[in-house]
Structure 1
C-alpha cells in the first residue's frame, strides 16, 4: 500500500515539528554560529530519514509499546538540554554546551525517535524497498527544510530585545516543556 503524496507530506511535517521547535530554541542562542546551524539541520534531517527507515524495516518485529520507551528517553534528553540552556543563562560564561560535536548526534536522535514509531506503524506494510527509501528520504528532506526555516525565524526573533536578552531562559523553558510533553503525552 503506497501513501499519497499529501499523506506523506503531512506525516513528514508532523515529524519535523520536534526538530523545528528545538531548532528555534538553539537558534535563539547567540553563541550558535552558522556552521552549527548547518550541522544541526543536517543532523536532524539525517536522523529523521534514518530512524524512519529503521522503523519501516523493523515494524513487523516490534510493537508500539517497545517504541514508547525510546520516546520517553528522547523527552528526557531534550529536557536535560533545556536545563543546560537555563544554567548557561545564569552562568553566562560565553561557552555554549549546545555546540559541542556530540550534541549534533544527541539532539538529532532525540528529535527523531518518533520517526521510528511512524516507520513501525505507517511504513511497515510497504514491501518495495525503493518506495520505502523514497518515503524516508522525503521525510528527511522535509525535516531539513523545516529546521533551516526555524533557524531563519530565530534569527529575527533574537532582534526583539526581550527575546534576545532572555533567549537562553526562554529556550531552556521551552525545551523542558517539550521534553515533558514527549515523556507524558
Structure 2
C-alpha cells in the first residue's frame, strides 16, 4: 500500500472523529486549545489502536481466507463507507454536555468513531500492510483533524459536519472498489 493510499484511508477514517470534534467545538463559547488537544488525543489514540487490534485478529485468520480476502476488504470498506454516507444525511441536533471532555463522554465517542478502523485493520492484515507505520499515520492524521474539527466547529458551526462524513464514506467505498478491481485484474 502506497503512502498516498494510506493517507487517503487515514483521512477517510478520521472523518467521523472530525465531525464529532466539530460538535465539540460548537459547545465551546470560546476556543479552548486544551480541549482541542484532549479531543485529538482521544480520537487519535483510539483511531490508531483499533486498526492494530483488527490487524492482530485478521492475522490469525489470514491463511484460511487468503483466496477471498479481497472480497472481505471490498465488503468491509464498502459497508463502512455506505454507513458513513447514510449518517451524513441525518439531521440530528447535537446536544452539549456539561463537561464535554470528561472521560465518560469522550471514551464512548472515541470507540464509536473508531469501530470502522477496527475493520480496516482486519483488511490491513490481508493486504500485508506494515502495521506500526500505518497505525501511527492514522493516529497522527486523526489527532490533527480532530483539533482542526474543534476549531472549525467553534468558528463555523455544523455547516461542514455532514460533508465531512459523506466525503469519508465515499473515499472508503472507492478504496474498496480499487482493492477488488486490482485483485480481479491481477494488478
Same fold (TM over 0.5): yes
Partner of residue 118, structure 1: 120
Conserved? CA contact 1:59–1:124, under 8 Å: yes
| 1:36 shift after superposition | 2.6
Provide TM-score, normalisation by structure 1.
Answer: 0.63
Equivalent residues in 2 for 1:25-174, closer than 5 Å:
25-30=23-28, 33-61=32-60, 85-86=94-95, 96-126=98-128, 131-157=130-156
| 1:101 shift after superposition | 2.1
| 1:120 shift after superposition | 0.7
Post-superposition Cα deviations, 1:54-86, rounded to whole Å, max 9, x if no partner, equal: 11111145796xx89xx8xxx9xx9xxx97944
Post-superposition Cα deviations, 1:27-48, rounded to whole Å, max 9, x if no partner, equal: 1112684333221110100001
Regions of 4+ moved over 6 Å: none
CA–CA distance in structure 1, aligned partners of residues 18 and 139 of structure 2: 13
| 1:26 shift after superposition | 1.2
Partner of residue 23, structure 1: 21
| 1:151 shift after superposition | 1.5
Conserved? CA contact 1:58–1:124, under 8 Å: no
Q: Secondary structure at the match of 2:100?
A: helix
| 1:7 shift after superposition | 0.7
| 1:148 shift after superposition | 1.2
- Structure 1 gap segments, 5+ residues each: 89-94
Partner of residue 13, structure 1: 11
| 1:97 shift after superposition | 4.9
Pairs aligned (count): 144
Provide TM-score, normalisation by structure 2.
Answer: 0.62
CA–CA distance in structure 1, aligned partners of residues 127 and 56 of structure 2: 9
CA–CA distance in structure 1, aligned partners of residues 128 and 15 of structure 2: 24
| 1:125 shift after superposition | 4.0
